[in-house]
Amino acid sequence: MTRTRQGDDGARRLIELGAIREVAPAAWDALVGDDSPFLEWAWLASLEDSGVASPATGWTPRHLTLWEGERLIAACPVYEKAHSMGEFVFDQGWARASERAGIPYYPKLLVGVPVTPITGSRVLARPEDRAAAVAAFASVLEGACTAGKFSSVHVNFCRRDEVGELGARGWFLRTGLQYHWTNAGFATFDDYLASLRSKRRNQVRRERREVAEAGVDVRVHAGREIPNELFSPMYELYARTVDALPWGQHYLNARFFELVAERFRDRLVFVVARRRGRVIGGTFNVVKGDRFYGRYWGATVDVRYLHFEVCYYAGIEHCVARGLRVFEPGAGGEFKHLRGFEATETVSMHWLAHPGLAAAVNDYLGSERAAVKDEIEFFGSRTALRRDREPGA
């Protein structure tokens, strides 16, 4: 892309950054505001400084920033990608088709947060600067692809307003789904249970009871209350679990956990399972505003239903106790639906330089969007929630 480009009025400059640390944390976070915590400087810097998101791992930072004098007025987290891993909007099929047609697919550009499938704004700007920022950033991204430097640009897990902004420029919409839980004004965990159909309600009780009868104590540690000595075990739980899964991808490293302990602790909530005082399982979660985000889980011993307890029930209990409105547990897992998490649409936007490949992808996306819509409607019709109960009743 380009390191700097003068605006038409001579006052605004568009500058590409080779690392998030090239901009002051306060300036970047002022643009994030109340948006997703994973857009904040501390999270992105921890991914980059730990080497999780680096050229060596196929994530080369190319963040776009718009300046008015010395003041940052807009920003966009951008990475050059040498592969499609860690994105959770899967385009490997597009890549294979492209390569078969003799069209190089990599490198490509990704606008989003590495290894973090959470929705958030992808163009960060004040309302009065937003139109100019979207136009400037999209123009640079499209131009880099048209010039042959990259095959395409992908804006993953973006906001609905960005669908309209980029769609007006001819970008393609892709939809997906996750399972989110909504707090319907519950005062207690029993209120949540009462919102479920009787079969599911009884199953949750059995699962929690079996975990307790196995001698497991589950506790929540939030923010500055998290002991320093928990960060190393939490990384070990994560690493052990992803390494044991045939589909697991070991994206994070121990240094990342050290950096978030220093920079991001106020946002963290750890659910920790202990037996006879020893940590045997837990989850790494993030909270901001009225949202609770489940990120990583792991266990060192096999305890039946422990996964459901630390990944879902303890998190729901924490949301109820703290008055948090939404619990986003991340990608995958239809079994979440059985516990009151509802199928929720996610969106991404895509721009491909090669006309033939673009036409093929656009045709595919039409049928895929219809399939996603049908799947969301299917799960909606088979909800685990009682439909005869008013929220908060």
183 backbone dihedrals φ, ψ, rounded to 5°: -80, 110
Q: CA-CA distances (angstroms) from residue 40 to 45, 80, 335?
A: 9, 20, 30
Short-list 152, 115, 146, 5, CA closest to 64: 5
Residue 6 has pLDDT above 90, yes or no: no
- For 294-327, write each residue's pLDDT tens digit: 999 999 999 999 999 999 999 999 999 999 999 9
Q: Contact 108/152 with Cβ under 8 angstroms? A: yes
Instruction: Decide if domain 4-176+345-380 falls under CATH 3.40.630.30.
Output: yes
Round to whole Å and give the CA distance between 248 and 262. Answer: 27
Per-residue pLDDT tens digits for 204-216: 999 999 999 999 9
Please report how the helices 41-49 and 25-32 are oriented relative to each other, as an axis angle in degrees rounded to 10: 130
Alpha-carbon separation of residue 369 from 32, 268, 375 (angstroms)? 29, 34, 10
Q: What is the pLDDT, as a whole number, of residue 390?
A: 43
Contacts of 239 (CB under 8 A, 6+ apart): 250, 252, 298
Distances (CA, A) of 51 to 46, 110, 255, 272, 347: 8, 17, 8, 27, 28
Residue 1: per-residue pLDDT? 67
pLDDT of residue 389: 52
Above 60 in pLDDT, residue 3? no
Residue 330 pLDDT > 90, yes or no? no
Does domain 184-324 fall under CATH 3.40.630.30? My reply is yes
Phi, psi for 6 (deg, rounded to 5) = -75, 135
- Residue 107: asked if its preceding bond is cis (omega within 30°), the reply is yes
Domains 4-176+345-380 and 184-324 share a fold: yes
Beta-carbon contacts of 263 under 8 Å, excluding residues fewer than 6 positions away, are 42, 45, 46
Residue 238, pLDDT > 90, answer yes
Q: Where are the domains of the chain?
A: 4-176+345-380, 184-324
What would the DSSP string read from start to end of 172-204? EEEEEEEEEEE--S-SSHHHHHHTB-HHHHHHH
What pLDDT score does 245 carry?
Answer: 75
- What are all long-range contacts of 384-391, with beta carbons under 8 Å and residues at least 24 apart? 384/196, 384/197, 384/200, 384/337, 384/338, 384/339, 384/340, 385/195, 385/196, 385/197, 385/340, 385/342, 386/194, 386/195, 386/196, 386/197, 389/194, 389/195, 391/184, 391/185
What pLDDT, on the 0 to 100 scale, is given for residue 334? 75
- Assess whether pLDDT exceeds 80 at residue 392: no
- When pLDDT is cut at 50, 70 and 90, the band that residue 10 belongs to is low
Distance, in Å, from the CA atom of 303 to the CA atom of 275, rounded to the nearest integer, reads: 11
Q: Give the Cβ contact number of residue 135 at 10 Å.
A: 13
Q: What percent of the chain has pLDDT over 70?
A: 96
pLDDT of residue 209: 97
Q: 103-146 pLDDT, tens per residue?
A: 999 999 999 999 999 999 999 999 999 999 999 999 999 999 99
pTM of the entire predicted model: 0.94
Instruction: Tell me phi and psi for residue 215, to 5 degrees.
Output: 80, 25
**Mean per-residue pLDDT over the chain, rounded:** 94
